[in-house]
Amino acid sequence: MTSEAITLLHEAKQGGAREQGKLLALYANYLKIMAQTQLDRRIRRRVSPSDLVQETLLEAHRDFSDFRGATNAEFVGWLRQILVHNLIRVTEKHLQADKRDVRREVYIHKLNASLEHSSSRFEHVLAAPFESPSSELGRHERMRLLADAIAELPAEQRQVIILRHIEGLPFAEIAGQMERSSGACRMLWLRAMDQLRGKLDGMEFE
């Protein structure tokens, strides 16, 4: 059996606008998690991760003919690059960064590296609810379904998983951000992981 994402990618590349929309929608939750980890905290009251993802998906749909890859990994990488450009744009707009400053190139490099690191951390969350992936297809299918499962959690459980596993923060720092004690954050995290395992239990992958 073929992955839904692979099937849609193939059909979308044949020019199917409906398939393009369905394919992009599959990665909305993954992109939202990535955007949340990279969006500067100073501008989150003015720009939300959801706003960035919406713009990213609209641009990807508009420019789909520019995508030259053929695999899930290449497609996810292409989406992440569009997200990076949107993160840079809103940061420059709201923090008044000088576009001519050579530091902009340094920032772009750091943002790409940070996003790659966050994506790698995200993959490691799989070690808890999933068996080790056996193929590139399986890995990206797990990433997508894991993002969907995290999106279904209550807001505080979702936040503690992202802070702990993707941003890699210790419970002491998580406590400061969530305005709870370290012990309360640890208990919240344990409940969140139980909920996540329950949502993913029994899922089968290629």
pLDDT in tens, 23-73: 999 999 999 998 988 887 778 778 889 999 999 999 999 999 999 888 888
Instruction: Read off the pLDDT of each residue in 84-105 and give the average, rounded to a whole number.
Output: 71
Whether 200 and 149 have beta carbons less than 8 Å apart is answered as: yes
- Tell me the three state secondary structure of residue 44: coil
What's the predicted TM-score (pTM) here? Answer: 0.80
Query: Residue ranges of the alpha helices (H) in the chain?
Result: 4-13, 17-26, 28-38, 49-62, 72-95, 103-125, 136-151, 155-161, 171-178, 182-200
Query: What is the model's pLDDT at position 105?
Result: 64
What are the C-alpha distances in Å from 137 to residues 133, 144, 193?
9, 11, 24
By CB atoms closer than 10 A (0-12, 13-18, 19+), residue 9 is buried
CB count, 10 Å around CB of 172? Answer: 10
Query: What is the model's pLDDT at position 129?
Result: 44
Judged against a pLDDT cut of 60, whether residue 184 lies above it is answered with: yes
What is the token pair recorded at 135? Answer: 């193929």
* Least confidently predicted of 19-33, 65-79, 89-103, 129-143: 129-143
Overall residue count recorded for the chain in this entry: 206
120: left (phi over 0), alpha (psi -120 to 50) or beta: alpha
pLDDT bracket for residue 97 (50, 70, 90): low
Tens of pLDDT, residues 141-152: 778 888 999 999
Instruction: Read off the pLDDT of each residue in 4-21 and give the average, rounded to a whole number.
Output: 84
Higher-confidence position of 116 and 154: 154
